[in-house]
């Protein structure tokens, strides 16, 4: 998992209504934090076009003529799934590129071509891949791995400037999630580590 973590995330601003389009999803991240609706069809299309454009021409697509919500700063992770296998994942707990749209494009490309755990995805393989978009909530520090539910929550492990994350549902047990994080972060032992858990809204592309 290639991530940029920030544990001092500021509360999201309440945002005005947006014009209605089909397939809206409303995200309620807490009693006081609301991410407005966004069109998942547009989001998935943007991710897929970004990957295909980069694989064929090594350039990023332009984010133009999109609904206003795609200009907002929303934390996001993009995962590529081939059957039950993950083929790449990248994301951040804060906007890295100034807008939801640009982050979707950026992290889609990284997931497809720069996740060191997997070989790069090729254009032919994209026909068999489903895109998953994960919108994380604010991480909460925990003091025991047993306070974390891997089916419903994500896990972050941090130590000495090294860090890694497992998204909700990526590990079957808390112990395995911890093992994955330690390995991916390059942490040799689990003494004096900091643990964080988080909930998330997860959306999976249909039809693949």
The total of other beta-carbon atoms located within 10 Å of residue 118's CB is 17
Alpha-carbon distance 119 to 57, whole Å?
Answer: 19
Q: State the pLDDT confidence band at 24, using cuts at 50, 70 and 90.
A: very low
Residue 202 φ then ψ, to 5°: -120, 130
Mean pLDDT over 76-91 rounds to 95
Each residue of 53-64: pLDDT tens digit?
Answer: 999 999 999 999
DSSP three-state, residue 32: coil
Mean pLDDT over 114-141 rounds to 95
Mean pLDDT of the residues in the chain:
84
Q: State the pLDDT confidence band at 37, using cuts at 50, 70 and 90.
A: low
Residue 132: per-residue pLDDT: 97
List CB contacts of 168: < 8 A, sequence separation 6 or more.
134, 150, 151, 152, 153, 154, 199, 200, 202
Is 76's pLDDT higher than 70?
yes
Each residue of 142-170: pLDDT tens digit?
Answer: 999 999 999 999 999 999 999 999 999 99
List CB contacts of 117: < 8 A, sequence separation 6 or more.
184
Residue 207: per-residue pLDDT: 74
Indicate the pTM of the whole model: 0.82
Residue 84: per-residue pLDDT: 87
Write down the domain spans for the chain: 2-10+20-204
Classify domain 2-10+20-204 at the CATH topology level.
Answer: Glycoprotein, Type 4 Pilin (3.30.700)
Is 71's pLDDT higher than 60?
yes
- The answer to whether the CB of 77 falls within 8 A of the CB of 89 is yes
Mean pLDDT over 98-119 rounds to 96
Q: State the pLDDT confidence band at 23, using cuts at 50, 70 and 90.
A: very low
Copy the structure tokens of residue 98.
Answer: 């100034």
Among 103, 130, 124, 138, which Cα is nearest to 2's? 103
């Amino acid at each position: 998992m290639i991530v940029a973590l920030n544990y001092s995330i500021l509360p999201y601003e309440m945002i005005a209504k947006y014009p209605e389009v089909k397939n809206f999803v409303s995200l309620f991240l807490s009693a006081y934090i609301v991410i407005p609706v966004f069109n998942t069809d547009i989001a998935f299309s943007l991710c897929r076009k970004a990957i295909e454009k980069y694989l064929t021409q090594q350039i990023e697509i332009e984010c133009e003529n999109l609904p206003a919500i795609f200009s907002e700063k929303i934390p996001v992770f993009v995962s590529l799934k081939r059957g039950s296998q993950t083929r790449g994942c990248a994301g951040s707990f804060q906007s890295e590129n100034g807008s939801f749209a640009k982050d979707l494009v950026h992290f889609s490309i990284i997931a497809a071509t720069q996740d060191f755990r997997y070989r790069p995805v090729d254009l032919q393989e994209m026909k068999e891949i489903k895109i998953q978009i994960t919108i994380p909530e604010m991480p909460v520090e925990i003091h025991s791995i047993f306070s974390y539910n891997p089916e419903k929550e994500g896990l972050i492990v941090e130590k000495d400037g090294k860090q890694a994350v497992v998204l909700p549902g990526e590990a079957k047990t808390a112990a395995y999630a911890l093992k994955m994080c330690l390995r991916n972060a390059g942490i040799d032992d689990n003494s004096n580590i900091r643990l964080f858990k988080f909930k998330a809204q997860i959306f999976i592309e249909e039809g693949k």
